[in-house]
Amino acid sequence: MRSENNLAEQIEKVALEEPADETNSNEVTVEGNSVEKKKKKKKNNKKKKGGINQFFPDGVFPEGEWQEYTGSEENLRRVTDEEKRYLDRQANNKWNEFRKGAEIHRRVRQTAQKNIKPGMTMIEVAESIENSVRAYSGTDDSLKGGMGFPCGVSLNHCAAHYTPNAGDKVVLQYDDVMKVDFGVHVNGHIIDCAWTQTFNERYDPLLNAVKEATNTGIKTAGIDVRMTDIGEAVEEVMESYEVELDGKIFPVKCIRNLQGHNIKPYQIHGGKSVPIVKNGDTTKMEEGETFAIETFGSTGKGYVVHGGECSHYMKNLDAPPNAPIRLDRAKKLMQAIDKNFGSLPFCRRYLDRIGEEKYLLALNQLCRAGLITEHPPLVDVKGCYTAQYEHTILLHPTRKEVVSRGDDY
């Protein structure tokens, strides 16, 4: 079995590196446990990336997990309603692009879960994931596909928005609780999905609490469902758990000021929030919307504040008109951000990657002018542990699709 898995990995590596099509005249042959790649002369010697498309030559990507709507009689009839089914088919291209991003996410995280080990630096963890996403996306145009937002690798009491900046020396430890949160986008359709990586089994009750709470949120969500009702269901499940650490019992608390959200094209936070506690918000989910259902549990206070050096940034879509930019360097940096990221979140390492140098002063000016927003790490009390699970759901006219669902979670 092991040799078969290794063989599959080798074949996948070959396919990712070079597409086998008629123009390149490449052949991949398998003999025993070896993979041989035969190359013929090519008109263009430039190496191309095949990406995930190599595994789906018809361009149709796997559907996620389907769940039927509950509640009103209208919702119960949706799955057989001809008009709703027609509307659903009209959006097939959009659904398929979400599914492509979800398939990339599943493959990348499957490899990450197997390969991430204590002793790796946080830069190694984050960049191995990000480089895999880019390879599977098969495009060098970051606005057509690739990272939907930087790979978060928040540790222990840090719940979200930590990704290492250049020079970060933090090393992953056996007793760490790491939230791995990364996005994949295809033409602006973003998959937002996360899990918690641990090596010590003592954290399992914490992870189980958050995983079950997220699944409860997904099950409760749907067209015409009120946000507060989702939060109430999540809170009831999450806070029924407790975890024993070093002989002391800790109740698992919802991190009440972290929430899920809707997703719009090229916009990771679309304006609606999905609470993980009952909060009285009567805003409803609507047909055709996309949501990231995410929950966070903590052994601490269940409340986060800003803490640590900022790494995450994003263009402000509500920026003041004609905001003054005094430095020419800041103007050029803004142009580079628009060209490479648009309204997608980015981090300092991404600026390094596109060749920007000595940009901190200019970046700070853009933030002060309100053109760029900062998103520093979010931390609970030091010494506690936090966990996260998240999926992207699509509210089809007929049913809801947990598009990022995998065999892992």
pLDDT score, position 39:
42
Catalytic residue among 168, 236, 269, 287: 269
DSSP H or E run through 113 = helix 92-115
Site of tokens 């630096």: 121
Average pLDDT over residues 129-140: 97
User: Which uninterrupted H or E stretch holds 128?
Assistant: helix 122-137
Distance CA 255, CA 258 (A): 6
Mean pLDDT over each residue of the chain, to the nearest integer = 90
Using DSSP, state whether 30 is helix, strand or coil: strand
311-323 tens-digit pLDDT: 999 999 999 888 8
251 in Cβ contact with 205 (< 8 Å): no
Report the binding-site residues: 161, 181, 192, 261, 269, 294, 390
Catalytic residue among 130, 294, 356, 380: 294
Question: Is 318 tagged catalytic?
Answer: no
Q: Is 18 a catalytic residue?
A: no
The pLDDT of 180-207, averaged and rounded, is 98
Whether the CB-CB separation of 408 and 109 falls below 8 Å is answered with: yes
- Angle (nearest 5°) at CA 129 between 264 and 205: 85
Q: Which of 97, 356, 390, 401 is catalytic?
A: 390
How does pLDDT run across 269-298, given as a tens digit for each residue?
999 999 999 999 999 999 999 999 999 999
* Catalytically annotated residue among 88, 130, 176, 192: 192
φ, ψ of residue 284 in degrees (nearest 5): -110, 150
Q: 408 an active-site residue?
A: no
Cα separation, 196 vs 242, whole angstroms: 17
Give how far the C-alpha of residue 198 lies from the chain's centroid of Cα atoms, to the nearest Å. Answer: 18
> Is the Cα dihedral 133, 269, 375, 340 positive or negative?
positive
pLDDT of 11 strictly over 80: no
- The pLDDT value recorded for residue 73 is 83
This prediction's pTM: 0.88
How sure is the predictor about 383, in pLDDT bands with cuts at 50, 70 and 90? very high
For 157, the 3-state DSSP assignment is coil
Distance CA 43, CA 349 (A): 36
> Catalytic annotation on 294?
yes
Respond yes or no: is residue 192 known to be catalytic. Answer: yes
pLDDT of residue 13: 56
Residue 269 a catalytic site member: yes
Set 157, 261, 312, 391: catalytic member:
261
Opening angle at CA 97, ends 94 and 100, nearest 5: 155
Instruction: Give residue-wise pLDDT tens across range 227-279.
Output: 999 999 999 999 999 999 999 999 999 999 999 999 999 999 999 999 999 99
Question: HEC profile for 367-405?
Answer: HHCCCEEEECCEECCCCCCEEEEEEEEEECCCCEEECCC
Q: Which residue has the tokens 């492509």?
A: 100
Binding residues for a divalent metal cation are 181, 192, 261, 294, 390
**Whole-angstrom distance, CA of residue 59 vs CA of residue 47:** 22
Q: How confident is the model at residue 209 (pLDDT cuts 50, 70, 90)?
A: very high
